[in-house]
Amino acid sequence: MDMWWKGAVTYQVYPRSFQDSNGDGVGDLKGITARLPYLADLGVDAVWLSPFFRSPMRDMGYDVSDYTDVDPVFGTLKDFDALVARAHGLGLKIVIDQVLSHSSDQHPFFAESRASRTGPRADWYVWADPRPDGTPPCNWLSVFGGPAFTWDGRRRQFYLHNFLTSQPDFNYHNPAVQDWALSVLRFWLDRGVDGFRFDTVNYFFHDPQFRDNPADHRVKDEPETSPYGMQYHLYDKNRPENLAWLVRLRGLLDEYGAASVGEVGESHHAIEMMGDYSAPGRLHQCYSFEMLGKKFSAAVFRDRIEGFFKGAPKGWPMWAFSNHDVSRHVSRWAAFGADPEALAKQAAALLLSFEGSVCLWQGEELGQTDTELSFEELTDPQGIAFWPAPVGRDNTRTPMVWEDGPQGGFTAGTPWLPVKPPQLARNVAGQAGRAGSVLEFYRAMLAFRRATPALRHGRTQVLDTPEPVLAFQRGQGPGAVLCLFNLSPKAVALAFDAPLTPAGPVLAATLAKGVLTLGPNAAVFLPLP
């Protein structure tokens, strides 16, 4: 099999927010196709498209009503085929989201399932009888707030939804559901896609006994913003049956030579689960939210990387600092940066030197920051439900900014989320070709990673350095690279008796009289003999 994915860099595109081609204020497939040369020039290997399937858009496409068609707001299947052909012509792989653990309640299958307890799709979704007192069968909670069960008067049963009430969960204990899911993948593989990103990959199976989740065993000083985080999710997800299903998925992918990445949404043992799910014969790679939080220290990065490869030497991770579900890292880690541009460039140097595959979130190559939104501007159900904190996900999903002009060059109409001045200031046209810009630093780092086998495939040896210095070696022997970072806004001095002959881009590092000074948010890559 072609191992293109191993060590590759994937760029996540959120179709609603990348480029609008028809002036309706919403990004679309034709717009993405027109911008593919930008991504090829940036130097990434693959493009991940968030959902573009038919959907009532209650959760912005993560509630699918037809898995084998394009929602009209994004275009047509013909537009999708043209996008794939253009990407392949530019040397880019196309990876598409698959949201298979749940559907929209507008999907015809759910209409059939709720209509009767004896119909052909009666058990395609997760149904449960009430307890004698009329309450749900157990204490499971929805990620978006409230119980994970909603009463349906037609069946006189509860149905399970780990997210919105309009996102009922499929019953993967039913082999027919698994067969159908594989047929969906085959449909897109036959259209030429190179792989899939599997949403909520640890949510496919539930405990059929509906046992109560225990309380989270970790001591908390105060309640979580969302009660969901107060449970230890042993029974509503993370079930052992997931592993056999991943083997079935891998079997189909291997038929086509396609790649896969799974999203592990879990706060307990996520690194171990990433390794388990990406073990030989299962998914090719996994990512979790372990680097998508507020912690920014040498210990955090050292522990995540060492922890993965020690615990799962045969697994493979995909690392990311931001995505469509979390606050942008330049905003999230602002306290650790001398200034936003310095932090943005250091983040690129860090992420693109890690062992594993890498995923970039659209706009991060510009040093883009979160957009401050009022309640009236929100569209995200999570943000609306938990206002005012957390704000939700709209602040990271605002449109891509291509130029310093009306709506940032994203649309000729009114954008679905606003483009505000702080984001408008960080645009592609203003940074392209400008020495020292965040965009040009990303291009340099991507070229350095691509040209340096040790950064794509070399093993990691982490060195014992005090905070805030992170140091590790990638690879062994000729071609090995020493990676040094100062994860603070204050300079750090190190005794250093070797000549400073950088192997790649340098950020705020100087050597004089045997002292290596790592300035604020410094990064330097040194060749090893």
Give the residue from 401, 327, 335 showing the smallest Cα distance to 363. 401
Which member of 71, 105, 194, 199 is catalytic? Answer: 199
Residue 474: helix, strand or coil by DSSP?
strand
Question: Which residues, in sequence order, are CB contacts of 331 under 8 Å at separation 6+?
Answer: 369, 370
Taking CA 355 as the corner, what is the angle to CA 353 and CA 357, rounded to the nearest 5 degrees?
A: 95
- The question of whether 45 is a catalytic residue gets the answer no
Distance CA 260, CA 119 (A): 34
Question: Which residues, in sequence order, are CB contacts of 111 under 8 Å at separation 6+?
Answer: none
Q: What is the DSSP string of 215-266?
A: BPSS--SS--SSGGGGB--SSSS--THHHHHHHHHHHHHHHHT-EEEEE---
Judge whether 162 and 200 are in contact, CB under 8 Å.
yes
- The question of whether 199 is a catalytic residue gets the answer yes
Give the residue from 267, 265, 285, 290 showing the smallest Cα distance to 275. 285
The first and second tokens of residue 158, run together, are 């509860």
The CA-atom distances, in angstroms, between 140 and each of 118, 160, 454, 496, 511 are 26, 9, 45, 55, 57
Burial class (CB in 10 A: 0-12, 13-18, 19+), 495: exposed
End-to-end alpha-carbon separation of the chain, Å? 33
Distance CA 175, CA 482 (A): 50
Distance CA 94, CA 87 (A): 7
Which member of 41, 129, 179, 255 is catalytic? Answer: 255
- Nearest 10 degrees: Cα torsion 171, 174, 179, 180: -40
- Nearest 10 degrees: Cα torsion 167, 172, 178, 181: 10
The CA-atom distances, in angstroms, between 484 and each of 50, 170, 345, 487 are 34, 47, 14, 10
Judge whether 256 and 189 are in contact, CB under 8 Å.
yes
Residue 340: helix, strand or coil by DSSP?
helix
Which residues are the active-site residues? 199, 255
